[in-house]
Amino acid sequence: MELNNLILVTGGNGQLAKSMLDVYPKRELYLATKSELDVTDKNLVSKIISKIKPRKIFHFASLTRADDCARDPDLAYRINVEGTRNIVEVCKKFDIPLLFVSTNEVFDGKKKSAYIEKDKANPITIAGKTKFHAENIIKENLKKYFIIRTSWLYSKWSRNFLYVIFSKAKELKQIRIVKDEISSPTYSLDLAAAIKELLLSDEFGLYHLVNEGMASRLQLAKKAFALSDVDGINIIPISLKDFDRPSKPPLFSPLKNTKAREMGIVLPRWEDGLRRFLKENTL
């Protein structure tokens, strides 16, 4: 097997990287974990990519949890910004197409309808600011790139919102859930499939890829419990401002898949993605 036939995937232990294995043959992907490829190490990044010379790079390595970014902004900057810069420099040198995953948190949440690709970004969190900075580094230095913004990603490989609420429900029988934070819950396998379809084209640029529709944290939780036949849980709706956490995300940040839809790429509705996830996994 020649290494340069591979797609190099940074952040190989992450949920999206593992989801890609469900849509690509394993022989086509090189999932590089942090221990193998620390993207903040410029010399290591150059050495490994120069050796492999992959046909594409999926840059998934990042500090994604908004609260972790808020707790350690310097680390978020090193990973999300400088790490991306290191990857971009080598992509530019060897003319390697790059796919980068960004976030709904590049927006400030003040819009009254779902955000489209043309909307002006104005991040208010460290997570959003560092990801948007990374987006700009890519745009300024590369021609062959896909920037994918997604939202509220979940899978069986991550301790995400769904795992947290099910765990708390089993332990406490009463949970507080935010009612006024709204976005687009997205099943990682649906995103992976959409990414593969998008990459069949050479229509480089910025795309929103999320499951169709929008929901609040409260709506998502209630739907998940209903689909899992979980009852007897006392759900206490609260406002985001009353939820004690290091990061305060935008209240309203659903994304709309405008450009991908024009190409015939449409993800299932979020309810459908959630249904399939819960059917395939026990929480």
Q: What is the pLDDT of residue 4?
A: 63
Domain covering 3-158+185-211+254-267 assigned CATH 1.10.3720.10 in the classification: no
- The span from the CA of 20 to the CA of 189, in Å, is 8
- Provide the pLDDT for residue 221: 96
pLDDT of residue 282: 77
Tell me the whole-structure pTM to 2 decimals.
0.95
DSSP, res 178: E
What is the C-alpha separation between 195 and 101, in angstroms, rounded? 10
Q: Quickly list H helices, the chain.
A: 15-20, 42-52, 66-71, 73-76, 83-94, 126-141, 161-172, 188-198, 217-227, 258-262, 270-280
Residues in the chain: 283
> Given the DSSP bridges, would you call strands 215-216 and 182-183 parallel, antiparallel or unpaired?
antiparallel
The pLDDT assigned to 1 comes to: 41
* pLDDT averaged per 10 residues in sequence order, the chain, 283 residues: 77 95 93 94 96 94 92 97 98 97 98 97 97 98 98 91 90 90 98 97 95 98 93 91 90 97 97 96 79
Specify the pLDDT at position 158. 81
Q: What is the domain partition of the chain in residue ranges?
A: 3-158+185-211+254-267
